[in-house]
Amino acid sequence: MRFSCKIFLENQQNVIIPADYRRYLLSMIKEVFKKSGSDGKDFFENMYSGNTQKPFTFSAYFPLEEKSQKLRGEFFSFFFSTNDYEFLMRVYNGLNSIKGFNLFGQNIKEVKHFFLFPERRFDKDEVVFKTLSPFLVRDTEDGDYYLVPQNLIDQKEFKYAKKGVSKDNVIDSLKKNIVSLVKRYLGFAYDENNLMITLEKISLSPAKHGSKESKFTMTLPAMKGFIRIKASPEVLKLIYDIGIGARRSEGFGMLEVVE
């Protein structure tokens, strides 16, 4: 389930979109949950009281002035995707109550032009996805590090990238990620041997990210491109709905079907 909307900011001519914009959007989403209903604050506390996986992902499109991070126009587009109807409705309700929230140094003036995308159906077992937001592959042996094929990071230093990683290592970790998501959100064990993943036209897409509350920022070794996945239709739909990889609920790993 997926929808988009347009978010209008006051004094838009002065809005600069920071490189670590995802953490600002994440703060907005947290506020949205709090405003999602009479029990919104309790819902927020339950979701964010621990380090738990969350069944959603998001992305944004910012029309920017040429060679600038300055917002061009009155609004930017926000996209939200989940497999959970309650999350969809809470975000929708909360966005309709978010007026006045400070985002990128300006207050939100209004949110409108909601569009609910038709439910995506999967009737085949192989799909090519493209990234709408870059994805992260966490090292399953050491969660403090991320995996990127070594040929993509030669001559580059990333504090949080594991060295000497092959494309096969990345694919193996992606498979484990998908199996974990299936177990949690679909409720059954999925055999890794029934998963086939091919990374196509993958490139490095470094992403500044961090916590708005602590003002800590790091550069993560994210990737973008095309991902061909062979799996059962219900697994492909889950990946489409909630994204792939690590930090999905922080604005990473949102995908679109291209083939």
Q: Clarify whether residues 23 and 112 are in a common domain.
A: yes
| Domain co-membership, 133 together with 226 | yes
Given pLDDT bands bounded at 50, 70 and 90, which one contains residue 74?
A: confident
| 64 and 6 inside one domain | yes
Kindly state whether residue 111 falls inside one of the protein's structural domains: yes
Report whether 235 contacts 178 (CB < 8 A).
yes
Measuring CA to CA, how many Å separate 116 from each of 2, 58, 200, 206, 245? 6, 14, 29, 30, 24
Same domain, 61 and 18: yes
Question: pLDDT, tens digit, for every residue of 110-121?
Answer: 999 999 999 999
CATH code of the domain containing 8: 3.30.70.1890
**pLDDT band of 157, cuts 50, 70, 90:** confident
The pLDDT value recorded for residue 155 is 60
Q: Tell me, yes or no, whether 112 lies in a domain.
A: yes
Last residue of a domain, one of 92, 116, 140: 116
- pLDDT attached to residue 170: 95
pLDDT of residue 210: 73
Nearest residue to 43 (alpha-carbon basis) of 58, 31, 56, 60:
31
Same domain, 226 and 150: yes
Task: Name the band, by pLDDT with cuts 50, 70 and 90, for residue 30.
Answer: very high
Provide the pLDDT for residue 152: 87
- For residue 121, being part of any structural domain is answered with no
- CATH code of residue 199: 3.30.70.1900
How high is the pLDDT of residue 158?
80
- Rounded to two decimals, the pTM is 0.93
Residues 252 and 141 in one domain: yes
Please, are residues 220 and 136 in contact by the beta-carbon 8 Å criterion? yes
Look at residues 116, 141, 174 and tell me which one is the last residue of a structural domain: 116
Given 96, 116, 136, which residue is the final one in a domain?
A: 116
How far, in Å, CA of 178 to CA of 44, rounded? 25
The domain tally of the chain equals: 2
Distance CA(238)–CA(82), nearest Å, equals 9
Q: Which domain, by its residues, includes 74?
A: 2-116
- Whether 214 shows a pLDDT value over 60: the answer reads no
**Using one digit for the tens of pLDDT, what is the confidence trace for 88-98?**
999 999 999 99
User: Is residue 9 very low, low, confident or very high in pLDDT (cuts 50, 70, 90)?
Assistant: very high
Per-residue confidence band for 127, with pLDDT thresholds at 50, 70 and 90: very high
Of the pLDDT bands very low, low, confident and very high (cuts 50, 70, 90), residue 109 is: very high
